[in-house]
Structure 1
């Protein structure tokens, strides 16, 4: 591996862990956080050091970074990779922030992508110096800061991840380099549409969230989603909504199996609610997770506007009915007293408004409209 210069954007659990791991691999790493949030990382700004602890033998101890900054131009200058590790609701803001600071020899990788490549390409437009965009389908780690602003991260485990490129045609020439430099991506999706539809959380969380909404909005309740909320009925709804997602994938030429992949099931596996129930309710890794304990949880405010909303919008483009998915959105709109179709990631934000199936698939393959 030839060491590279890498910018990691974000101030959360995953960004801390990723910046430290890349530095341990020998890369030159710049960590960026927006000026309005740098106070949450005061210690890391002062010391340029992240401390790793936990279950991963190779991710231990203090790690010094090349730079910790709130200047985006300084952060990304000369970097081969710009790795965005931040919630989906920040992707549009980061796209606007990055425009004008990148060039065509750079690669922007978002963890997890959730259609980030389309959102960013829409902002960069036809700029001849536009970078290549890539979306990962998951965060590479299960990790948590031990305390806000501590700069110390407890790493519990690793997650397998896949990747997609925009333009998709660039993937084959880049994947070997990126597997060596970044992570051992297990597969390349056909394109960033498939990757966005393969995010596991929106359908994985759907049933337990909907059928336990009163517990979620009761902060005094000691509620654990996978211990208390992962019920047979919740699992039945998860599977039914996932079938709508798979039907959309089939029309676009994808064999979507995100829940099966997440659970490590073979390619020919078909869920029953009983097996899905065991996967969540019996998981030693999931059942200790507390909450969510309020209606602003990302299980609602990220999974719906940046997961279910774009899925339903793409389904409308290609003529696939998704009544359960749309009904779920309608119910959460009432719960939140908001219009997530208007506020979330729709066709306009994705830059695909007015396209049909053929022009859409050509666009994600070539990056050209």
Structure 2
């Protein structure tokens, strides 16, 4: 198996988990953290436990330039609210022979990277994951607990003709878990985290505000699950308006964790029984709202506007999030204006995201 030089952007749980997994497979790994939180890896090895059990020496890049110029494949593993700024830092230093993997992609961030690269004369290959291959929690700067390896991960590629090449690279790094999709719009709509996270956070808000310890699957009660399912129906309706289908939250969890319970509430109860966690957020600045509302629900609303279909549950949850935090999440997504979505059409966006209609 050929060794690949892989650069990972981000040193949170997913970034460290990916670094450990890829290093265990025999590839050279370097990490760049825009906030400098990977610096501890200069003096200590990366330690992973759980699904991945390894102690490995990994490189630590000091800048986007150093990471981009020393690697063949780059994996972006930062929260979606950091995608645009990270991509802007990487773009001047990327090469046409590189593959960038966005894991996981939200708000069509991979389309932003691909089109910006094209504007610079760079024929970049950009792969997108609809969810993360691994789930993990960082213990401290150099240690991570990897809790799950998913069995199915939706993925796409820009340009769409490079999908076979991108799939081969992704399988080389992560194994045979990918479900290739025709265009990246499917991949971004396949990311169901905002659909489950936002209702879960809002309806457990006092626990978050009091910084209580609460296992989140235990608090996905039947009534909370019913709201999640109503929100999920709007996501699937938007996907259908763009001529495609995505797995429901229930289907996603069933496939990810190999559960056969027929209802979402039953799946949540079984996950709590098996895992006892993960713990719910304890900080009111939780990404379950700060990331998943603007880059999940507000983006979904933008697509619904393009397709001219109503999404009342989506609107209500955005407004509730704004109300409880006293913010305006409608203004926080920096990708929607950068992609010009307010003046886009259904067919136009399908062409841009690699639909078969491109041919």
Q: TM-score under structure 2 normalisation? A: 0.90
Residues 323-367 of structure 1: CA deviation (Å, up to 9, x unaligned): 110111111111121111111255313343422111111111179
Quote how far apart the aligned CAs of 1:78 are. Answer: 4.5
Aligned residue runs from structure 1 range 281-320, under 5 A: 281-283=269-271, 284-285=273-274, 287-320=276-309
CA contact (8 A) 2:118 2:124 kept: no
| Superposed displacement of residue 103, structure 1 | 1.7
Query: Structure 1 regions of 5+ residues with no counterpart?
Result: none
After superposition, what is the alpha-carbon deviation per residue over 1:212-253, rounded to whole angstroms, capped at 9, x for unaligned? 22332222x4433322x2122111111111111111111111
How far apart in 2 are the matches of 1:215 and 1:29?
39
Structure 2 residue corresponding to 1:45, chosen from 30, 42, 45: 42
Give the SS at the match of 2:354.
helix
Matched, 1:128 2:103: no
Indicate yes or no: 2:158 matched with 1:137.
Answer: no
Give the secondary-structure state (helix, strand or coil) at the position aligned to 1:263: helix
The corresponding residue for 2:336 is 347
The residue aligned with 1:224 is 215
**1-side partners of 2:210 and 2:274: how far apart?**
24
CA distance in structure 1 between the partners assigned to 2:290 and 2:64 by the alignment: 27
State the distance in 2 between where 1:365 and 1:42 align.
38
Question: In 2, Cα distance between the equivalents of 1:340 and 1:321?
Answer: 19
Q: CA deviation at 1:261?
A: 3.4
Indicate which of 280, 283, 292 corresponds to 2:268: 280
Q: Give the alignment partner of residue 242 of structure 2, picking from 252, 264, 275.
A: 252
Residue 16 of structure 1: aligned partner: 16
Once residues 165 and 118 of structure 1 are traced to their aligned partners in structure 2, the CA distance between those partners, rounded to angstroms, is 9
Q: Does 1:192 align with 2:192?
A: no
> Residues 243-271 of structure 1: CA distance to partner in whole angstroms, max 9, x if unpaired?
111111111111111413322369xxxx9
- The structural deviation recorded for 1:101 is 0.4
| Deviations 1:82-103, CA, capped at 9 Å, x for gaps | 1011111110110110111012
Name 1:118's counterpart in structure 2: 111
Q: Return the match for 2:149 from 153, 158, 174.
A: 158
| Aligned equivalents of 1:135, 1:281: Cα separation in 2 | 31
Contact 2:302 2:342 in 1 (8 A): no
Work out the CA distance in 2 between the residues paired with 1:43 and 1:248.
Answer: 43
Q: CA deviation at 1:70?
A: 1.4
TM-score (norm 1): 0.87
Equivalent of residue 243 in structure 1, options 233, 242, 246? 233
Deviation at 1:322, TM superposition (A): 0.7
Cross-structure match for 1:77 = 69
